[in-house]
Chains A and B, each alone.
Chain A
Amino acid sequence: MQKDSVLYQELREVINEKKSLRNPLIEILHKAQDIFGYLPPEVQEFVAEELNMPVNKVYGVVTFYNAFTMKPRGKYVINVCTGTACYVKGAPRIIQMLTEILGVELGETTEDKKFTLTAVRCVGACSLAPVFVIGDDTYGRIETRAQLQGILDKYLKDEV
């Protein structure tokens, strides 16, 4: 991707807006990931240059935090909660069913680039356990494969 593309332009605006804050790197990386979907080396280099810091510092931060990813993701990211409440209420089973239905392991993206399956620690909806999140939508109390399939179908048909 050209560094003068629209996405980089957008990122540059974010950086200019946040530059005046003290140590805004993490805030900027959040936005960069929103814009690009992930944080490939080029984007990290770009951020480093704009902020005038060594790129290995940016890399160190990106690799430390679970929220940042250097792998491209699917259109929909399925975040299965593996927090304690969800775990005791059957999160492992949800993961097992999802890996079977989607044919990918945790952390992987389906071939059609539709879904990425990941795990997250507690989304704070523990009373609905077991829970998973797709985008802004939280799904709770899922028990059967049929329920899961029904939810995924909505996304497969892009009815969301």
Chain B
Amino acid sequence: MKLTRIDVLICFGSGCISAGAPKLKERMIELLDEHNMLGEVNIIETGCMGPCDAGPVIMVYPEGVFYKKVTVEDIDEIVTEHFLKGRPVQRLMEDADAERKAQTKKEIPFYQKQVKVALENCGYLDPESIEEYVALGGYEALGTLLTEKTPEDTIDIIEKSGLRGRGGGGFPAATKWRFARKNSRFPKYIICNADEGDPGAFMDRSLLEGDPHRILEGMMIAGYAIGAEMGFFYIRAEYPLAIKRIKLAIEQAKEWGLVGKNIFGSDYSFDVEVRSGAGAFVCGEETSLIASIEGERGEPRPKPPFPSDFGLWRMPSVVNNVETFANLPTIIRKGADWFASFGTETSKGTKVFALTGDVKNTGLVEVPMGITLKDMIFDVGGGMTAGKKFKAVQLGGPSGGCLTEEHLDVEIDYESLKERGSMMGSGGVIVMDDSNCMVNIAKFFLDFTVDESCGKCVPCRVGLKQMQQILTKITEGNGTEADIDKLEELGHMIKKLSLCGLGQTAPNPVLSTIRYFRNEYEAHIRDKSCPSRVCQNLYYFEIDKDKCIGCSLCARKCPTKCISGSREEKYTIHQIDCVKCGTCMEVCPVKAISTFPGIHSDVSAVKDKVANDD
């Protein structure tokens, strides 16, 4: 790194880019040029720093000052006040507590309970510079292993660290490696699963974009351990920047002799290729992923045989998740005991989560295993968005389940979540407030899995569809008492009989919402009412005549022209024609329009009449 007086780190994670980070950089260069300071200030584009909600964010070193929600105009003040006069701009800092501003990143509550292992460098270095990665200790772990340790030693260290796969299943990394290592057939392959299929998760994307060399180094460590001299990155096509950064990292590593023949003078050689996904969730499942690399339809293959014996092109292969690889260099450098000092009995180390939904600090966080949901959501996450009440949190995406207020003290690890009908999954955490309808959320996930089922096995293809039909019936107000039992029955059967993990876990969101929010299902079925006012058939809009000022705006904006009235009479919604688009509520200047759970009597009267006529 160049010797400069000031280092400015501008977050170029996806969140901050769309919030305007590139313009900030432009303006800063312009101003530094004006003040003849270009030589004194080093501007670095980094990967995601984590607090996406506060974006665009900037860090200034040597002090470690953290600025949030920076605008182009703010850059002027940062340059003239902070850089020129040495007076950091208080107004742009995050609160440390009610009274004080956080003078440095360390004082910010968002970071305080976090422990960065996989994200060690993310947001701290220029991801397109191999020099910076190496300066921060990069490729040291690989070098040590290749020159001083055998592959068996490597597996032993990882076994001792207790590292489990971060892609969802939580299978011990070392165990899988040992199987592949033992197989005497060559060539072997090491594969990085960067398909990140959980919709609502961006950990792997941020890691690949923010610290690509770390993932490459991790892959080579695993490759060395199992005896693979060829690796594949399988990255979803929706992540073009991740693909670009990994390709660049590979090129740089080749130039430096870190990928290629006889690395670090050892007799280990390694080559690597990047393949992109094509938008199929099931391709995140390892055997489907392998089929996809082979250029086939990404359909799963029955296990056993496992990929460690018959994987890519029927050769011994190991598929690991991006974050699993990201942990490896640090474990090797800092030691297995250090890593195992974090976490719980069965789940060691840290886990990266993508915290989203109705929580204040949405973003990327890394916390020690064993942290409670409460600490993660309310301390790191800063609690619910203004004025909202916590209702549920969904972990594990479409394969996972939701947990409720009573679980906030649960210490997060693989087992504790599973026991309660949820799962660790890959790390997507969706926090939901009380405006969410849990039946609707369950249906959302099921719509997803029905869509993404590859159709190869019947329980998953047909069974999920039946569950979907029942849920549709319920959310449309046509559910019957027996439906809940039927859903549970189908769910358990599909879990037992499906070919791959997709079907084996797809019923979880439905089962867990029935378990914890049965009353909501019952309200939809018995009272024909959506208590959270989400399911369109089961709530209605009404104008409060006492508040209405008769301005006619709603009537004019209504797309179905179902609102009429006059200044004197005030306005009324004709319920039969209302499509519940919500436009009237959005435009009403006096907030006279509200929603109510249930079916409006006008509508149920018509429904009853139709039923009788039939």
Contacts and interface: CB of A to CB of B under 8 A. Distances in A.
B281 A85 contact: no
Given A27-B275, A88-B441, A128 B18 contact: yes
Contact of A85 (B55, B237, B357): B357
Contacts of B260: none
B280 A66 contact: yes
B436 A88 contact: yes
Given A26-B278, A84-B394, A84-B397, A60 B199 contact: no
B293 A126 contact: no
A7 interface: no
A114 to B, nearest CB: 22
A63 to B, nearest CB: 8
Given A26-B275, A85-B357, A120 B18 contact: no
B550 interface: no
A60 to B, nearest CB: 6
Interface string B224-241: 000000000000011110
A122 B201 contact: yes
B199 A127 contact: no
A88 B430 contact: yes
Nearest to A23: B295
Nearest to B282: A64
A157 interface: no
A85 B19 CA distance: 18
B444 interface: yes
B61 interface: no
A93 interface: yes
B138 interface: no
B256 interface: no
Interface string A97-137: 00010000000000000000000111111111100000011
Contact of B201 (A64, A82, A126): A126
Interface in B386-405: 394, 397-398
A123 B238 contact: yes
Contact of A124 (B55, B238, B295): B238
A30 B278 contact: yes
B196 interface: yes
Contacts of B428: 84-85, 126
B295 A26 contact: yes
Given A67-B278, A83-B199, A139-B18, A128 B582 contact: no
B362 A140 contact: no
A160 to B, nearest CB: 14
A66 B279 contact: yes
Q: Which of A26, A30, A81, A85 has the most CB of B within 10 A?
A: A85
A83 B14 CA distance: 16
Contacts of A81: 199
B123 interface: no
A25 B354 CA distance: 33
B537 interface: no
A121 B284 CA distance: 13
Nearest to A131: B18
A127 B273 CA distance: 31
A140 B56 CA distance: 13
B476 to A, nearest CB: 15
Task: Output the residue of A26, A60, A123, A136 with the most chain B CB within 10 A.
Answer: A26
B18 A122 contact: no
Interface residues of A, number: 45
A144 interface: yes
A127 B200 contact: no
A115 B525 CA distance: 40
B199 A64 contact: no
B52 A61 contact: no
B397 to A, nearest CB: 7
B581 A96 contact: yes
Contacts of A27: 275-276
B280 A125 contact: no
Interface residues of B, number: 62
Given A64-B298, A122-B198, A89 B278 contact: no
A86 B357 CA distance: 8
Contact of B200 (A23, A96, A126): A126
B559 interface: yes
Contacts of B454: 64
A121 B441 contact: no
A78 to B, nearest CB: 15
Interface string B266-282: 00000001011111110
A9 interface: no
B200 A125 contact: no
Contacts of A30: 237, 276, 278
B239 A124 contact: yes
Residue with the greatest number of chain B CB neighbours at <10 A, chosen from A64, A83, A96, A120: A64
A138 B444 contact: no
Contacts of A46: none
Contact of B238 (A25, A93, A96, A122): A122
A23 B293 contact: yes
A88 B394 CA distance: 11
A94 to B, nearest CB: 12
B356 A129 contact: yes
Name the residue in A27, A123, A124, A129 with the highest tally of chain B Cβ atoms < 10 Å from its Cβ.
A124
Contacts of B52: 127-128
B17 A85 contact: no
A68 interface: yes
B448 interface: yes
B363 interface: yes
Given A100-B559, A124-B14, A89 B357 contact: yes
B296 A125 contact: no
Contacts of A66: 278-280
Contacts of B197: 121
Interface in B331-364: 354-358, 362-363
B510 interface: no
Nearest to B51: A127
Most chain B CB neighbours (cut-off 10 Å) among A25, A127, A136: A127
A87 interface: yes
B152 interface: no
Contact of A128 (B19, B205, B294, B586): B19
A96 B52 CA distance: 27
B88 interface: no
6 contacts: A64-B299, A85-B200, A85-B354, A122-B238, A124-B205, A125-B15
Interface of B: 14-15, 17-19, 52-53, 55, 196-202, 205-206, 237-240, 273, 275-281, 292-299, 313, 354-358, 362-363, 394, 397-398, 428, 430, 432, 436, 441, 444-445, 448, 454, 559, 581-583, 586
Given A127-B52, A140-B18, 5 more contacts: A24-B295, A67-B277, A84-B199, A84-B445, A85-B354
Which 6 A-B residue pairs are closest in the complex by CB-CB distance?
A83-B199, A84-B200, A127-B52, A23-B295, A66-B279, A65-B278
